[in-house]
Amino acid sequence: MRILLTGTAGFIGMHTATRLLSDGHEVVGLDNVNDYYDVRLKRARLAQLGLHQGFSFHEFGIEDPARLLALFERERPERVVHLAAQAGVRYSLSHPQAYAASNLQGFMNMLEGCRHYGVQHLVYASSSSVYGGNTTLPFTENQAVDHPISLYAATKRANELMAHAYSHLYSLPTTGVRLFTVYGPWGRPDMAPYRFAQAICAGESIEVYNQGQSLRDFTYIDDAVESIVRLLYKLPAPGNGPGLGSASAPFRVFNVGNGQPVVLHEFIAALERSLGRSARKIMRPAQDGDMHATACDSTQLEAWIGFRPATPLAVGVQRFADWFEQYQGR
């Protein structure tokens, strides 16, 4: 198939594109390569993808409707994996307009492209952050998600609602993926694993928020990609079934997480063991917008695609640490 994949220079985007290319598909990549974090890492990811036959790349933002629709017109993708978004909970506190432009207007532009050019299936990234103020763990798709605690989370929930409207109105099959704290090689520098590894290797202190007591469901990148690709291959239909479905639309939303949450202190300890170095910790209170706990129930995902994330934390962290030291030239 010819697959349009947005956010190709991103962490999950690069790995998903690599997998789809390995499966024999043609991947049309799209990314604006912004400077939210180190552009050199994004360029290095794109260089890896450029080694594959069947990969082409376009550099502009999904906020530009005319240019995006022209891309749909020219490339005629059969399916779309939409991972492009303004990421980060804390950044949304200081740059809210970036989230409105990319996550709302940009997502609308993607829906319009899929609608007008006969896309067979749109799979898009939502987030575990949509669970917001929920305190009942683990999170399941059928829980109410009406109390986001960050603008980022609100935009991701809005994406799910917008997708349902287009699925209902235009019979566009859509599948949302509520990702839980994805980590691994080529990960984002603004996320804890990379930031902690960088500071530990440099002999610098790390800031540990919520006194290290935050509970997180860390999901290894290969498990996230396997889930996304299997979901892409299976089109939803109207009716009840696994995941958050709809009787009136070909619409589904699924949790994608490991299901084995750990407190942040445990993750740091695993990273210390993998790097062979100790961290100097500075304890901080919780930050605005951060969820105190996430835990994933992937039962419905497994029922739908026959797979659920299961990579042990120790294995995933060691793979990340090995890549990090190689990438940093240590």
DSSP 76: -
Structure tokens given for 204: 């610098």
Residue type, 62: I
CA distances from 290 to 74, 127, 150, 215 (A): 41, 13, 8, 11
Residue 152 is a catalytic residue: yes
Cis peptide before 236 (omega within 30 of 0): no
Angle at 222 between CA 269 and CA 90, to 5 degrees: 60
Contacts of 298 (CB under 8 A, 6+ apart): 254, 255, 256, 257, 258, 259, 308, 309
Q: Of 36, 37, 124, 152, which is the active-site residue?
A: 152
Q: Is there a contact between 261 and 293 (Cβ–Cβ < 8 Å)?
A: yes
Dihedral sign computed on CA atoms, order 113, 119, 121, 123: negative
| Residues assigned a catalytic role | 152
